[in-house]
Amino acid sequence: MFELLGVPPQALFGQLLLGLINGAFYALLSLGLAVIFGLMNVINFTHGAQYMMGAFVAWMLLTYLGIPYWGALVLVPIIVGITGVIIERLFISRLYHLDHLYGLLLTFGLALMIEGLFRREYGSSGLPYANPLPGGTNLGFMFLPWYRAWVVAISLIVCFGTWFMIEKTQLGSYLRAATERPDLVQAFGINVPRMITLTYGFGVGLAALAGVLAAPIYSVNPTMGANLIIVVFAVVVIGGMGSIMGSILTGFGLGVIEGLTKVFYPEASNTVIFIIMAIVLMIRPQGLFGTPR
């Protein structure tokens, strides 16, 4: 068997695929964060917990109601999105007139509460979720499991769908306008508070969708969101939250870089994204796709 750069190709492509999958989650989550931040100026610390809720609700639907994965894929983002709407109405909406840091602190508290409740109820050892697409195909240079291919494909579709909706449709133009000047948009007769609420619900729904996608790959675990969200924060800092496309590209790109690091220098695979963040901050503080303030 031939080798590439001193590494067997199975290992290289296997890690590349894993990197793409991680990248898909980074992209979906940072996209949601960017959409929420764009309109509300709130960094949604609860995002990781909502991703975890997505996985858990999918597991509950299967275990308690017998609703299979494909049903969960549609239902879970809606259910968790609605909890997001409730959270926005009950709590976050009271903080818009204050310093943005309070939004961060509030959503952090919410994340702690949600994680604690799930840990209390389900322990922290993790619950299995059956793979809905078992098997795969041999591509010659590597084995491609169907489910992983599906995850990359669906997240690409959702990411670009979101980009299209925000950048190319009329609804998206309202959204972008409200990001710039909410007062003017309101004066034109558009219900901005409702739009903010729905946007938050949408961002939360994206996180929940990522959670459903993750359920068959990783075990369903109350702590799965907390550690991921910190990496996603670093991704967001690297990309800058100014552009939707930027979030998507940075998410996938960093996932791939992380995968490659696992092949060539495994000791640094946990930290490589943080190191890249530090370097980007030194060279381009506003982030790769951010606009300087």
Binding residues vs other proteins (CB under 8 A): 43, 91, 94-95, 98-102, 104-106, 108-117, 119-120, 226, 230-231, 233-234, 236-237, 265, 267-268, 270-271, 273-275, 277-278, 281-282, 285
Nearer residue to other proteins within complex by CB, 187 or 281: 281
C-alpha neighbours within 13 Å on the C-beta side of residue 51:
29
Residue type, 124: S
> Using CB atoms within 10 A of its CB, is residue 127 exposed (0-12), middle (13-18) or buried (19+)?
middle
3-state class (DSSP) for residue 166: helix
Minimum distance from residue 38 beta carbon to other proteins (Å): 13
Structure tokens at 281: 């901050």
Does residue 69 sit in helix, strand or coil?
Answer: helix
Helix (H) or strand (E) run with residue 31 in it: helix 9-40
Specify the residue, 62 or 95, whose C-beta has the smaller distance to other proteins: 95
**Cα-based angle 254, 202, 57 (whole degrees, multiple of 5):** 85
Nearer to other proteins, 68 or 285 (CB): 285
Closest to other proteins by CB, 74 vs 105, is 105
Shortest Cβ 148–other proteins spacing (Å): 25
What minimum distance in Å lies between the beta carbon of 37 and other proteins?
A: 8
Extract the tokens encoding 66: 């017998």
As measured in angstroms, the least distance from the Cβ of 100 to other proteins is 5
Pick the closer one to other proteins by CB: 59 or 233.
233
- Joined together, the tokens standing for residue 172 give 């998206």
Q: Which is nearer to other proteins, 43 or 151 (CB)?
A: 43
Phi first, then psi, for residue 129 (nearest 5°) are -135, 125
Sign of torsion, CA 78 82 84 88? positive
Q: Indicate the residue type of 205.
A: G
Closer to other proteins by Cβ: residue 162 or 269 = 269
Nearest distance in Å: CB 145, other proteins: 28
Q: Measure CA of the first residue to CA of the last residue in the chain; give whole Å.
A: 53
Closest CA to 76 of 198, 199, 205, 203: 205
Provide the minimum distance between the beta carbon of 98 and other proteins in the complex, in angstroms, as a whole number.
Answer: 8
CB of 248 to other proteins, least distance (A): 19
